């Protein structure tokens, strides 16, 4: 009995060794990108451009929003003491749109307030345009990259059916699968580039909107200083009369 069991186990082991082991096929992202054809080079170029624009604008916006929280307080004190040159020097220390707005307004002091406000607003528009430069290209990549991917999809399907038409009666599944594989790779590549560019564009747009709001707030504070108002929005004369009435 024991001999029979050992014989059966040995035959089973020999049968398992006789079965060929199936190799596991794997592929890298680079191999998959190569299968996409020349359109993947176009998507690669667009991704590099999108990363460059996003990085450059992110750094620019980050620097633009960096300013001392006591900046306007120091400007107010200098202007009240008549130290216009010192106020201009303080503005020149900051590479920020807010500082350039205030600097332009200080340079126009002595003129009518509407003229000063117009000069500050024009400078603000120029600063916003400088910050937004390049964003239309990022938006174009966000919309165009998926379309290029879909173009590769159509081209891959056309190639697959063309190969099947020329094969005649010798139709092989590989003729169709190769074209579909290429089509799907370009679609994935286009969607990845488009999605990243889309989120990057919206993020930068929101940061610029916050910066514009900050510029408007500082502009209002500066105009209040020129109007002779205190920090709480009450004029100095009104504040003095209020203290006298107590």
Mean pLDDT of 4-9: 48
The reported pLDDT for the residue numbered 179 is 66
Count Cα atoms within 13 angstroms, Cβ side, for 56: 13
With beta carbons less than 8 A apart as the criterion, state whether 211 and 64 touch.
yes
Model confidence over 121-146: pLDDT tens digits? Answer: 888 889 888 888 889 999 999 999 99
Q: Map tokens 């038409």 to a residue.
A: 165
> Using CA atoms, how far apart are residues 88 and 73, in angstroms rounded to an integer?
14
pLDDT per position as a tens digit, 81-137: 888 888 888 888 888 888 888 888 888 887 888 888 888 888 888 988 888 888 999
Minimum mean pLDDT range among 56-65, 71-80, 142-151, 156-165 = 156-165
Q: Averaged over 35-60, what is the pLDDT?
A: 86
Cβ density class 193-216: b for 16+ within 10 Å, e for less: bbebbbebbeebeebbeebbebbe
Q: Name the β-bridge partners of 229.
A: 235
Burial-class residue 5 by CB neighbours within 10 Å (0-12, 13-18, 19+).
exposed
Among 51-60, 114-123, 182-191, 228-237, the minimum mean pLDDT is found in 228-237
Per DSSP (E only), the strands in 69-153 are none
In whole angstroms, give the CA distance from residue 155 to residue 163.
12
pLDDT (tens digit per residue) in 194-217: 999 999 999 999 999 998 888 888
- Whole-number pLDDT of residue 2: 44
pLDDT: which is higher, 21 or 70: 70
| Beta-sheet strands, E only, within the chain | none
Express as a percent the part of the chain with pLDDT over 70: 72
């Amino acid at each position: 009995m024991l001999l029979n069991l050992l014989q059966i186990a040995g035959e089973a082991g020999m049968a398992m060794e006789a079965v060929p082991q199936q190799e596991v096929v794997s592929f890298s992202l680079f191999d998959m990108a190569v299968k996409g054809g020349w359109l993947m080079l176009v998507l690669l170029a667009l991704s590099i451009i999108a990363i460059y624009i996003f990085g450059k604008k992110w750094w620019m916006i980050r620097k633009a929003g960096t300013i001392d929280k006591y900046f306007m307080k120091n400007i107010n004190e200098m202007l009240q003491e008549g130290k216009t040159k010192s106020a201009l020097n303080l503005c020149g220390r900051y590479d920020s749109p807010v500082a350039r707005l205030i600097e332009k307004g200080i340079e126009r002091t002595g003129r009518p307030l509407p003229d000063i406000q117009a000069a500050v607003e024009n400078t603000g528009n120029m600063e916003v345009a400088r910050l937004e430069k390049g964003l239309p290209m990022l938006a174009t990549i966000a919309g165009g990259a998926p379309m290029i991917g879909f173009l590769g999809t159509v081209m891959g399907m056309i190639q697959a059916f063309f190969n099947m038409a020329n094969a005649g009666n010798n139709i092989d599944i590989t003729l169709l699968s190769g074209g579909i594989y290429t089509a799907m790779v370009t679609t994935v590549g286009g969607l990845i580039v488009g999605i990243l560019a889309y989120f990057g564009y919206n993020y930068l747009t929101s940061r610029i909107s916050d910066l514009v709001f900050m510029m408007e707030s500082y502009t209002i504070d500066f105009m209040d200083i020129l109007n002779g108002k205190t920090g709480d929005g009450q004029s100095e004369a009104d504040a003095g009369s209020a203290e006298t009435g107590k």
